[in-house]
Structure 1
Amino acid sequence: MTTHVQLHDRLDYQSVAPLLSELKSITDAELVIDASNVRHLGSLPLQVILSCVKSRAAEGKTTRLANASDGCVDILSLFGFSPETLTQPEAWT
């Protein structure tokens, strides 16, 4: 089964706890994270997403970032990621 998660437009330190809680609760084999609304992505929420991706990969589960907004793509590139490499822990671990 696939679970879809819609990210909020602004992901900052205040969104860390709810984001972590939501992502940790997902047990399906495939997770699709929709980033179409993202205008701001801080380093702490990014770390939560990276941790989720890495943990899920270790369990043999897949995670995909879909519909990344232009702003999201720009921010990811500042951190050295693309929407594709963000969900490929073998590329960054």
Structure 2
Amino acid sequence: MISDGYVVVKLGKGLTVTGSYILLTQLPEQQTIEVGSLEAIHFPHGCYAYVGSAMGGFKSRLSRHLQGNKRPRWHIDYLLQKASVSGIILYQTKDRV
């Protein structure tokens, strides 16, 4: 289903669908971002793709990426403080890729 430019994948309550995903993001202007224990990193404006695994299930992992005001846990969390998610590509598998 497409809603406001997003493909919406309905994952049923309690349903654990696992696999890998690509999170597509858009950074509207250049930013220098403190990324965890790394030094500040300069990001030119543009599109970025983050590849992650959701072996515990897409629903919980992607919900976390899409929520605002979260404590940064992964490197992508720091970028998402400034960038917006423009799309998600899912690859359903029980194997790590």
Q: Which category of TM-score, normalised to the shorter sequence, fits these structures? A: under 0.3
Q: Relative contact order: is structure 1 or structure 2 higher (C-alpha 8 Å, sep ≥ 6)?
A: 2
Higher helix share: 1
Larger Rg: 2
Q: Which has the higher strand share?
A: 2
Q: TM-score, normalised by structure 1?
A: 0.25
The TM-score, its normalising length taken from structure 2, stands at: 0.25
